Structure 1
Amino acid sequence: MTDPKRLTDVTALQLHRARATALFLQEAAADELQDRLSMVNRSFTSPAVVTPFPTIWKMRLPAALTCSDEEELALTPGAHDLVVHAMGLHWANDPVGQLIQCRRALKPDGMLIAATLGGQTLQELRSCLAQAEIALSGGLSPRVLPMGEIRDLGALLQRAGLALPVADSLTLTVEYRDAFHLMRDLRAMGETNALTARPKTAANRRLFEETSRLYAEHFATSTGRIPATFEMVFLTGWAPDDSQQKPLRPGSAQQRLADALDVSETPLPD
């Protein structure tokens, strides 16, 4: 039985992923993650990847343990010097819990890097769907997954107990012939609506026809195609270790900032 208090209907999500055939977004995130790892001056000998699509990672990190992004991750505490959480965090009912489990799986000074979809993702579709549904029915239904803003997602790293947290984003814009082709592609990605509170009956086709019309009216490019935004947010943190750099205590500076900048110091008025 579905728990109405949970954001994601896990059973529906698994069914959507099982029929996924177009994984270009997962591939793009994996390529970006691999590039970022190549710039880290460290050799990882015991990596693990949390991913709903493990075949994508077989060529990139062939020695890595892979596990699905279930609520209890199949990771051994303290066993890995690298954990990659790949494009599943946006569907997690407990994203902090996912990151805490990843942190526990790390050796001291081990690295976590996660990729997830951010709040700008599908902003055009979200806007047009809402406008069309209000016009046709006078209300709104949960039809597109709410995704975290980069600032909020970055804060999850600290809540999970990770050191040296960094969050940044990469925006991809993909063009489609119309909104119907976009929604068909989302289905092929396994990224269609799996919200617990989603409408359980099929929507009237008029809703999608009006959405497509509004999409073309407000967002069409000069070529007549429509853009779809995908914001990928990358979160990086480290398992705490005594060898890591730490901020100095307040008042412990050995030189005034004004002297370092070679400027005159102007006292603030009381």
Structure 2
Amino acid sequence: MTKNEKTILVAWDFSQYAEYALSHALFYSEQTGFDIYLLHTVKDKSLVKDTQAALDKSVQEIWEHEGKKVKTIVKISNMSDGLKEAAQELNSLMIFGGLPGFKGLQRFIGHYVMNAITGSIIPSVVVQQPKLKTDQLTIICPIDHSRQSKTNLAWVQEFAKNCNPKIYLVYPDCDYSLRNELVSSNLKFSRNYLKRFDIKYEEEKLTCQNFKLSMLNFAENKHADLILNATKKESRFNNFFFKSENYSLMANDKQIPVMSIRPQEGLWKYGKFY
């Protein structure tokens, strides 16, 4: 791998959900030609040899079942730091991780995979089921009143360069004037941005009362592969007592994959507009 080549990173814990994440990563790899790396973290150096042997076995099984070659990397670290180090070292474009849903306190503080990948500055995709068997990528790009929602557009552009996706721009139909003005302003910016890069898309106006639920229902009806989510910073203290808005979307009941994008930081290495 040369310094300028990008890669795709998969959080690999040998589980069924890691395999789900891999199925999505394989699709993006086919579209972009980027190498896939499976990352596993260990707590102690003494575990590296056995872990590498297990990873080599996974690589062989993937080759036998999928006919695809993947690479591996082991980090002596926790998952969060390991993903950060590996993503920077391998020049990763995206991180994929599988999520088995929420149970008990996980509903409030999150699953370890989600906590790890949402803490990364590299955009990360949380998946709960295998990639739909379609040839075209279908993306839901929400634009609301917030400034950071425009961050999603840079990744629409990134996908459009490689995957020829079907793009839906969805936005809330707000009742009160100030928020409606902000939505209208962001929507105007979005149209101009996509037009500038000659990116084809469709628009859909959704109810403002429960925009997230309306978006998920729309995404399900369109058999969407991905929802873009400019991740808002949330207090860990609040997340312990209240269900996190970010986690709630990423662990959605429709099991639609969600890409977590940290505004500004998540785009620093690609020179985007935000």
Is TM more than 0.5 here? Answer: no
TM-score for both structures, normalised by structure 2: 0.29
Task: Pick the structure with greater CA Rg.
Answer: 1
Greater RCO structure (CA 8 Å; 6+ sep): 1
TM-score for both structures, normalised by structure 1: 0.30
